[in-house]
């Protein structure tokens, strides 16, 4: 959907400030916004790290209630963390790639002025991305609660053997799985860890989730796509030092008998892209779909 309006009066900046060069980029973007008469909020840790306390650091909840737009400068991990924090406030997100891969931070660093200027002028494409709501239940007690934009991974520790998991979908028994772990991924996360475990790619507009086993004991266990309104319950049956991760960024240790309850979150992350953005172009660029396979040459007889 293309919109031609300019509702952005207050813009927040969040950066992967540990990366070389991010401090300079953040300061340049802050000045660029100021020249347009836009109020600038900088996330507190970002402001401190780049030495711009003069701009006033604020927490993410303040950004959620005051910002009309939030800009992530960094890699996909920066964007994922920002989405988990701000989706509930429905603050639109823009990603400027200062990392490596950049599946969801889709504005190249060298092009940020033109792309961001057009978005601020009201020319952009928008889309909503599904998030997961994950809870760990220990008996009747909730011991952990997080949101995830890419995936939820239940796995063994690196020092232990396989983990055994019982999976229920909509209160119907699905299977017991012995594996290194199990991934529950959104369409956004289908190009992350799930893809490396041979899961399918789901288009972001597809209302689905995918379950992908990691190194299953039974080779017949394969990825399966589910509707995105499915209620998924994963019980830890056996395994040493099990744990659960959201987006491989937030973690919790688990105990035998814990239930990991996964559902679609009641809100979505709202992404803004430059006009002309194409998901397929992103796949071509990041997965090298544009490169033809190298064919081996027949050997000449001696």
Q: Was domain 132-266 assigned CATH 2.60.200.30?
A: yes
pLDDT the model gives residue 18: 63
Say what percent of the chain tops pLDDT 70.
90
Other Cβ atoms less than 10 A from the Cβ of 299: the count is 6
Sequence-distant (≥ 6) Cβ neighbours of residue 250 within 8 angstroms: 84, 146, 148
Active site residue 76: yes
More confident residue, 17 or 83: 83
Closest C-alpha to 233, from 260, 211, 256, 264 = 260
Q: Which one is catalytic: 59, 76, 171, 259?
A: 76
pLDDT of residue 48: 82
132-266 and 2-121 share a CATH fold: no
DSSP symbol at 293: P
How far apart CA 101 and CA 98 sit, in angstroms, is 9
Class of domain 2-121: alpha beta
Residue 133 in this model has a pLDDT that exceeds 60: yes
The H or E element containing residue 281 is: helix 279-287
For the chain, the structural domain boundaries read: 2-121, 132-266
Of 208, 202, 155, 205, the residue nearest 182 (C-alpha): 155
Taking 80 as the threshold, does the pLDDT of residue 276 lie above it? yes
Pair type for strands 107-108 and 93-97: parallel
Range in 19-33, 183-197, 204-218 with the lowest mean pLDDT: 19-33
pLDDT tens readout for residues 54-76: 666 899 999 999 999 999 999 89
């Amino acid at each position: 959907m293309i919109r031609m309006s300019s509702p952005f009066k207050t813009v927040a900046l969040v950066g992967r400030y540990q990366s070389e060069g991010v401090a300079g980029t953040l300061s340049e973007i802050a000045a660029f916004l100021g020249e347009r008469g836009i109020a600038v909020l900088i996330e507190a840790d970002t402001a401190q790290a780049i030495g711009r306390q003069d701009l006033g650091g604020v927490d993410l909840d303040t950004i959620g209630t005051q910002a009309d737009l939030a800009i992530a400068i960094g890699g996909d991990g920066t964007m994922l963390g920002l989405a988990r924090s701000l989706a509930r406030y429905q603050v639109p997100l823009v990603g400027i790639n200062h990392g490596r891969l950049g599946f969801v931070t889709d504005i190249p660093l060298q092009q940020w002025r033109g792309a961001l200027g057009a978005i601020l002028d009201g020319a952009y494409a928008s889309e909503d991305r599904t998030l997961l709501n994950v809870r760990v239940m220990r008996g009747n007690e909730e011991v952990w609660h997080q949101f995830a934009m890419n995936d939820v991974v239940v796995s063994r520790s690196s020092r232990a053997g396989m983990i055994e998991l019982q999976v229920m979908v909509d209160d119907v028994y699905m299977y017991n799985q012995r594996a290194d772990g199990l991934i529950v991924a959104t369409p956004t996360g289908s190009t992350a860890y799930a893809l490396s475990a041979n899961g399918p790619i789901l288009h972001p507009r597809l209302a689905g989730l995918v379950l992908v086993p990691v190194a299953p004991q039974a080779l017949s266990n394969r990825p399966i796509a589910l509707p995105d309104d499915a209620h998924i319950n994963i019980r830890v049956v056996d395994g040493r030092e099990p744990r659960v991760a959201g987006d491989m960024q937030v973690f919790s240790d688990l105990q035998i008998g814990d239930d990991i309850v996964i559902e679609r979150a009641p809100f979505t992350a709202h992404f803004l892209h430059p006009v002309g953005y194409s998901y397929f172009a992103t796949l071509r660029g990041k997965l090298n779909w544009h490169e033809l396979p190298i064919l081996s040459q027949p050997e000449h007889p001696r």
